[in-house]
Amino acid sequence: MFSPPSNFASSFFLLFFLFSISHGFDTHLHFYFHEIVSGPNKTSFIVAGPNLTSHEFGDIVVFDNALRVGPDPNSKLIGRAQGMSVLASLSDQSVLTPINFVFTEGEYKGSTLTLFGRVPASGTAERTVVGGTGQFRLARGYAISSVLPEPLTGKVWKLDDFESYPALLVMFICNHCPFVKHLKKDIVKLTKFYMGKGLAAVAISSNSTITHPQDGPEFMAKEAKLFNYPFPYLFDESQEVARAFGAVCTPEFFLFKKDGRRPFELFYHGQFDDSRPSSNIPVTGRDLSRAIDCVLSGQKLNFMQKPRFSIPAIKDIRVPYRIKEEIVAAMKFSTLLSLSTYNVHTMFMIVVCI
């Protein structure tokens, strides 16, 4: 929770929880973590350290930040995020953070959830859910955050960029896969058409650049420019996003819809169409198109979805226990504005078993 001094600054986390309850139901939560790091209404303070006006090894910050239903500082208050962060690394700005989420309003009023772990200055962070009280009593799980850059523009994407859309298409693709190459032009054509009708779309490459150097960021940028991708093409270097989704092949399509208090709910996970590189069946995008038509018109899926047919792209992926296709946490991007003296945008996922 470190940030440079200024006249006034605030930051927030978009936090997402997937709770696997013993009776088999999943509960999805997301909310915003607001932090005011300077000014008369500061919610975080350096309370100890070698220099209380700068951020260096040994600094301890205590915070009591608002948890709200939205990014607007005037949105409904549902609790507090109380804890501390310790700059515990001699080599960089990594911090150690115990955090207690105290819910004061809503259906989880009176319950708490506790996280503990290290947040590196950049890259992927994993923290442990160590417990809770009330409805989260005996909770166990983990939290993962990852940076997802777009090689073509250098932009880092977050969930806020997709919040205004009724549906979101997440595609795991790459450059070298013959199945992706077979569909690529039609994927562009289909997404461009439906993006004009309100669909949001994002493509992610999680391939190892060691085994497939042609799938590296510089080649991704060239590919996106060559085919005029209308969607961001993101690089999942750590493969954490692919693990969270359970994505092990390319291409793989996940279509989400808006669902009340949850930002997105999985609606369709299936094939593009019946065409294959070795078949004479023309590429139409029929299956995915039908699914998008249903989700944009507010209808239920009116056909049996067929599993995707593709080739393994990510090796040695082990999906954590109780994480299913329905997980939408991997696209819960957040904005982290309080590390070191720069802004870091991360994807934030939390899975809790109680």
pLDDT at 142: 67
DSSP codes of every residue in 268-289:
E---S-S--TTS-PPP--HHHH
For the segment 219-247, what is each residue's pLDDT rounded down to a tens digit?
A: 898 899 999 999 999 888 777 778 777 78
Q: Are residues 171 and 285 in the same domain?
A: yes
Q: Are residues 230 and 186 in the same domain?
A: yes
Domain annotation covers residue 295 = yes
Do 201 and 169 lie in one domain? The reply is yes
| CATH code at position 226 | 3.40.30.10
Its domain, for residue 195, covers 159-235+247-312
Is the peptide bond prior to 251 cis by the omega test (within 30 degrees of 0)?
yes
- 22 domain residue, yes or no: yes
Specify whether 196 is located in the same domain as 308. Answer: yes
Rounded Cα gap, residues 223 and 244, in angstroms:
25
Whether 324 maps to a domain, the answer reads no
Q: Is the pLDDT of residue 8 over 50?
A: no
> Is position 326 within any domain?
no
Residue 321 is predicted with a pLDDT of 26
How far is it, in rounded angstroms, from Cα 315 to Cα 211?
Answer: 10
Q: Is residue 154 part of a domain?
A: no
**Does one domain contain both 214 and 274?**
yes
Which is more confidently placed, 352 or 110? 110
How many folded domains does the chain comprise? 2
Residues 185 and 288 in one domain: yes
Q: Residues 133, 167: one domain?
A: no
Q: Binning pLDDT at 50, 70 and 90, where does residue 88 land?
A: confident
Mean pLDDT over 25-41 rounds to 60
Residue 227 sits in the same domain as residue 344: no
The verdict on 167 and 307 lying in the same domain is: yes
pLDDT over 80 (residue 347): no
Q: Is the pLDDT of residue 22 over 60?
A: no
Q: Is 78 left (phi over 0), alpha (psi -120 to 50) or beta?
A: alpha
CATH code for the domain of 138:
2.40.480
Checking if the pLDDT of 2 tops 80, the result is: no
- Give the phi and the psi of residue 185 in degrees, each rounded to 5: -60, -35
Residue 30: predicted pLDDT = 60
Whether 323 is in a domain gets the answer no
Same domain for 291 and 348, yes or no, is no
Would residue 4 count as lying in a domain? Answer: no
Residue in 128, 44, 41 with CA at minimum distance from that of residue 86: 44
pLDDT at 68 over 60: yes
One domain for residues 179 and 304: yes
| pLDDT above 60 for 10 | no
In a domain, 347, yes or no: yes
How far apart are the C-alpha atoms of 185 and 281, rounded to whole Å? 16
pLDDT tens, residue by residue, 93-138: 788 989 898 999 988 899 998 889 988 765 567 778 888 899 888 8
Answering whether pTM is above 0.75, one says no
pLDDT category, 19, cuts 50, 70, 90?
very low
Instruction: List 133's β-bridge partners, or say none.
Output: 112
166, 186, 337, 164: which is closest to 273 by C-alpha? 186
Say what the pLDDT of residue 201 is.
94
Query: Widest CA span of the chain, in angstroms?
Result: 70
On the question of pLDDT at 6 being above 60, the answer is: no
For residues 317, 319, 324, 325, the Cα torsion angle rounded to the nearest 10 degrees is: -10
Residues 183 and 287 in one domain: yes
